[in-house]
Chains A and B, each alone.
Chain A
Amino acid sequence: MTGADREYRRIRAERDRPGPVLRKAPGPTAWFDVRRGRTGHWAFSLNRITGIGLVFYLYLHLAVLSLLLAGPESWDGFLHLATTPIFLGLDVVLIAGLAIHGLNGLRVALIGTGLVPDRQKALFYTLMVLGAIVVVYSILHIAESA
């Protein structure tokens, strides 16, 4: 085999190997890539982030509820913590997460079953506005009762 033949075979072999695959950005950082997505991408990313957040919250919630088993002092201790401003702030974050995830899920369900005609972007904005109203209302309500 001549040198030229060897070169040719090397070229063929290298071409046949699979090449690198670009992703929108490596891993979960893709979720925050502003340039690359339009509203649909944001809806997708928000849903994932809030979903993970809510799962995390669920474990936290169960852990907190387990305090009930430890008796009235530990529960009272928790209630004291639960009325601090920071905690109430986190409550608002939780409500926002629930609103976004729930309403977006509603959008996906409505679109997927064909109950809503082809207006998915309008639906997304409407539901997010609704969610924003819910969050604002809850902020006001919490601030009032605090």
Chain B
Amino acid sequence: MSDPTPADGRTRRFRLFRYRRGDGAPRSETFDVPVGASRTVLEGLRWIKVHADPELAIRHSCFHASCGTCGVRVNGREALACVAALDATTTSVTVEPMANHPVLADLVVDMGPFVDRFTEPHPLVRPVEPAAGPAMSPEGEPHERFEDCIECGLCLSACPVAATDDTYVGPAALAYAQSLLDRGEGDRDAILDWADGPGGAWRCHAAFECTEACPSDVRPAQRIMALRRELVRPRRRR
């Protein structure tokens, strides 16, 4: 929560990754941002863009961890900038783009390769499990809710396997495939074949960094393990 004209003069140092196409190499740039104007990393980045450098390229949309567009690395750790809180004692912060996604400019990455890893377009809405929600609608139908996964790509950034191998489809895609199987949706055999292939579920080394990084409680690592259990069970059709 911030005011456009913070009264106290304290600032904190933002160290930002800067890159433009055509640059030989990326560089680092520092900005001093008023503490009151940077209660979250995203607020600070926007302050910099509005007051210090309009050239700064950043990605954001919903401001409340629902759209998944503001994924960055804060002090080396994956986070959504819009909810990455900076308390009064933090005097400096380093912000870099996510790892394992191609950088477009500054803190913006190209999400195309991430989205391409999914087996099929990610459905947004699913029925609420009866036990999870309160009373269902009067017609007795379960309520609907959106999938937890907001496609932020933080899991892929955190994954040590993805850091060394671009053919690994990554936690988000595998977690999504598993959630389809969980609900009995999608072509079960096609999904299992895809997960069984090179770059699929067996490529995971159980680091669980993806689950640590996930802001939406998707628990991709646990889902990958569940997918593996599905793969080793005898299949119904062959």
Contacts and interface: CB of A to CB of B under 8 A. Distances in A.
Please tell me whether chains A and B touch each other in their complex, using a CB distance cut-off of 8 A.
yes
Interface of A: 14-15, 17-24, 27, 30-31, 33, 35-38, 40-41, 43-45, 47, 107-108, 111-114, 118, 120-121
A40 B212 contact: yes
Contacts of B110: 18-19
Contact of B209 (A14, A18, A31, A40): A40
B71 interface: no
A73 B163 CA distance: 49
A22 B96 contact: yes
A118 B222 contact: yes
B14 interface: no
28 contacts: A14-B21, A17-B21, A18-B110, A19-B19, A20-B19, A20-B103, A21-B100, A21-B103, A22-B98, A22-B99, A22-B100, A24-B163, A30-B164, A35-B75, A35-B77, A36-B76, A37-B207, A38-B209, A38-B212, A40-B206, A40-B212, A41-B160, A43-B206, A44-B205, A107-B206, A114-B225, A114-B226, A120-B208
B26 interface: yes
Interface of B: 19, 21-22, 26, 73, 75-77, 96-105, 109-110, 160-161, 163-164, 166, 205-209, 211-212, 221-222, 225-226, 228-229
Given A22-B97, A43-B207, A35 B103 contact: no
Contacts of B160: 24, 30-31, 37, 41, 44-45
B171 to A, nearest CB: 12
A58 to B, nearest CB: 21
Nearest to A34: B76
Contacts of A27: 164
| 8 interchain residue pairs of minimum CB distance | A35-B76, A40-B207, A40-B208, A44-B207, A36-B76, A19-B102, A108-B206, A19-B103
B73 to A, nearest CB: 8
Contacts of A121: 208
Given A14-B21, A18-B102, A120 B97 contact: no
Given A21-B166, A27-B164, A35-B76, 9 more contacts: A14-B21, A19-B102, A19-B104, A20-B19, A33-B76, A38-B212, A40-B211, A41-B209, A112-B225
Contacts of A33: 76
A125 to B, nearest CB: 13
Contacts of B100: 21-23
Contacts of A23: 99-100, 163-164
Contacts of B103: 19-22
Nearest to A30: B163
Contacts of B164: 23, 27, 30
A21 B102 contact: yes
Nearest to A13: B21
Contacts of A47: 205
Of B96, B104, B207, chain A has the most CB atoms within 10 Å of the CB of: B207
A15 B21 contact: yes
A40 B226 CA distance: 18
B226 A108 contact: no
B102 A14 contact: no
A14 B21 CA distance: 7
Given A17-B21, A19-B110, A36-B77, A24 B99 contact: yes
B66 to A, nearest CB: 25
B198 to A, nearest CB: 18
A73 B226 CA distance: 56
